[in-house]
A = this chain, B = another copy of it.
Amino acid sequence: MKCLFLDVINGGRPPGPPPLWMMRQAGRYLPEYREVRAKAGSFLGLCGNPELAAEVTLQPIRRFGFDAAIIFSDILTIPIALGHTVVFDEGPKLAPLASVAGLERDPEKWRPILAPVYEALRIAREGLDDDKALLGFAGAPWTLAVYLAGGGNDEQKAARLWAYRDPAGFQQLIALLTEAVAQHLIWQLDAGADAVQLFDSWAGGLPPELFARYVVKPGAAIVEKIRRVKPDAKIIGFPRGATMAGLESYAGTTGVDALSLDPSTDMTWAVQKLGVVLQGNLDPLALVAGGEALRTAVAEILSATQGKPFVFNLGHGILPPTPIEHVHELVKLVRGTV
């Protein structure tokens, strides 16, 4: 069976509607997810249980028929694998890291901690038809550094301050994270992921020089490390909140196959300027709102990307209060079956 998602990621322009999936599609807005989540006991318990993680990965495919499943996991699995303590309590809590010295540098020590992700990928791939793609993912080094330095809130203040005060020490952290992210993505591809997405969720608001040094450069290094062992690996980058110049630089220099765009990006501009496969960028709040706002927003994205290699997605993760009927409506709108 042909896989529409992979056709498009390979640069194809199928005549029909674009492939469709949603960031955080396995999540709290789904009753069947909440049920499994309750059974797992905790968020990290769910991430660490391959059977249950695979199950919630497949739930949105069964319900909505999305073209891609993304493995249920968390970007903070890498800090955990590096030996850092992460607690989830209405969002992640990390003890602020002051130096890279305490982190584990040996990939063989990372692997057993990350193994449930690979096992979940194997189980999920078995449960998916060939026409559905399975995605792996990781947080990008800058975003992981933001969490490690003191949290993702409030303009990434602690990480920026560290980068300004101690550029050499901060670069050591970025370099270690770059290694770990590339390795984790390679292992996910080994385990059956058809493509991987690199989430730089805190890339927004950065001065251009910091964006170049800590977002674009590690992004390029990760792509290069992956392609050294997997020349055909399909990689989607998501430098959320990047400026338009930042997006052009990221698309032009990292080597990613596709770029996921946040809702602030004008899709018409992106189609003209970015020169890679595009993914995005419906405002998750338009999906919460539904109705005319949803119809208008979907129509604009479809019109701007008509005939281009494009994957329909949200511009950020689906929000827990999203009504399920709005997601069904979205599927119909994108597939023209409404």
Contact = CB atoms under 8 A, between A and B. Distances in A.
Interface of A: 157, 160-161, 164-165, 167, 204-209, 211, 241, 243-245, 262-266, 269, 283, 285-286, 288-289, 291, 293, 297, 300, 315, 319
Nearest to A267: B208
Contacts of A244: 243-245
Given A164-B293, A165-B291, A293-B165, A266 B245 contact: yes
Given A205-B204, A243-B244, A161 B288 contact: yes
Contacts of A269: 245
Contact of A243 (B165, B243, B319): B243
A264 B285 contact: no
A204 B240 CA distance: 12
B297 A207 contact: yes
A22 to B, nearest CB: 17
Contacts of A165: 289, 291, 293
Nearest to A207: B263
A97 to B, nearest CB: 18
B157 A266 contact: no
Nearest to A281: B207
Contact of A285 (B164, B167, B265, B289): B164
10 nearest A-B residue pairs (beta carbon): A164-B289, A164-B293, A244-B244, A160-B285, A207-B263, A208-B266, A165-B289, A205-B264, A207-B283, A161-B285
A165 B262 CA distance: 21
Contacts of A285: 157, 160-161, 164
A94 to B, nearest CB: 19
A164 B266 contact: no
A62 to B, nearest CB: 29
A45 to B, nearest CB: 26
A77 to B, nearest CB: 24
Residue of A157, A264, A288, A315 with most partner-chain B CB within 10 A: A264
28 contacts: A157-B319, A160-B283, A161-B288, A161-B289, A164-B285, A164-B288, A165-B289, A165-B291, A165-B293, A167-B293, A204-B205, A204-B264, A205-B241, A205-B263, A206-B263, A207-B283, A207-B297, A207-B315, A208-B266, A209-B300, A211-B264, A243-B243, A243-B265, A243-B266, A244-B244, A244-B245, A245-B266, A245-B269
Nearest to A319: B157
A247 to B, nearest CB: 10
Contacts of A265: 243
A153 to B, nearest CB: 9
